[in-house]
A = this chain, B = another copy of it.
Amino acid sequence: MPRPTTAPIGVVLARTAKAAGQAFDQALAAVGGSQPIWQILIALKTHQHTSQRELADAVGIQGATLTHHLNGMETAGLLTRTRDPENRRVHHVELTDHGETTFHRLAEAAVAHDNRMRTGLTDHEIATLATLLGRLAANVTTPAGE
């Protein structure tokens, strides 16, 4: 049984993600953002969420943690929370104009960061990388609904 000669992929992944994450943190911080804020903005822009619970799931955090971030983002004027008249337990989260602007500003920083990381790699290599990462993730992610 030929032992793999590569370092544990988990170690390589963790190391890379740490370096990339720290660089990304700095890139976002430089334009007044953070990773959780960015993830929440993405989730708000890309899906129609009916509840904060759903939003929290999309971002991968607990409801209370989401509340924590939404408080800050609402204070910063990025979004508004209004109750659904149909079911007043549910809060609708919507981006303000400032929130939209912020989203685009962070998006630019994210794109720049991505381009920096992609330097020297072909589109095909990036696609391969994305595919492999996706398969890796599938092995550690609980299938939705379980």
Contact = CB atoms under 8 A, between A and B. Distances in A.
A85 interface: no
Interface string A58-85: 0010000000000000000000000000
Interface string A123-140: 101111110111111011
Name the prevailing secondary structure of the A interface residues: helix
Copies of this chain, whole number? 2
B120 A139 contact: yes
Interface in A108-132: 110-111, 113-114, 116-121, 123, 125-130, 132
Interface of A: 2, 4, 6-24, 35, 42, 60, 110-111, 113-114, 116-121, 123, 125-130, 132-137, 139-141
